[in-house]
């Protein structure tokens, strides 16, 4: 996990006025899928044809991030099986609620908006 305190001269400042940020690691397979979807959307004549693929990647990145920020610390703290299962259950609930919302929001975006989302994801991947 990278953490940047936004110190002067840092090459890893976020786009939000050099504020600190946290990022998470994900698999090479997810990175490959993400880049493929972003590339396809960015080069598509009609970016709206890629809405569902983008929504799926956003949800998978969200799930991976939630796991990284919540499940992994519980495991590292050796919080026990019950704590780990409770954490996973909570994240599962979040994702079940979030999935239709993300699909609806991304599904309603036009090409310019979709390309803005891809630019933001690329920024996060730097």
Instruction: Provide DSSP, 37-64.
Output: HHHHHHH-SSGGGGHHHHHHHHHHHHHH
Question: Looking at the predicted structure, is the pLDDT value of residue 6 above 80?
Answer: no
The contacts found for 15-24 with CB under 8 angstroms, 24 or more apart, are: 15/123, 22/69, 23/124, 24/64, 24/65, 24/68, 24/69
pLDDT digits (tens, 9 = 90+) for 76-126: 999 999 999 999 999 999 999 999 999 999 999 999 999 999 999 999 998
Element (H, E) at 125: helix 111-125
Which is more confident, 23 or 45?
45
Domain boundaries, the chain: 27-125
| Total-model pTM | 0.81
């Amino acid at each position: 996990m990278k953490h940047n305190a936004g110190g002067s001269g840092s090459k890893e400042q976020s786009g939000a006025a050099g504020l600190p940020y946290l990022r998470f690691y994900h698999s090479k397979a997810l990175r490959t899928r993400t880049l493929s979807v972003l590339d396809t959307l960015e080069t598509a004549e009609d970016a709206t044809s890629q809405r569902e693929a983008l929504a799926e990647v956003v949800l998978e990145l969200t799930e991976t991030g939630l796991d990284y920020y919540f499940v992994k610390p519980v495991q590292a703290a050796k919080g026990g099986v019950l704590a780990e299962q409770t954490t996973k259950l909570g994240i599962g609930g979040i994702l079940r609620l979030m999935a239709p919302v993300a699909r609806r929001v991304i599904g309603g975006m036009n090409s310019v908006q979709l390309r803005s989302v891809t630019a933001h994801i690329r920024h996060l991947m730097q």
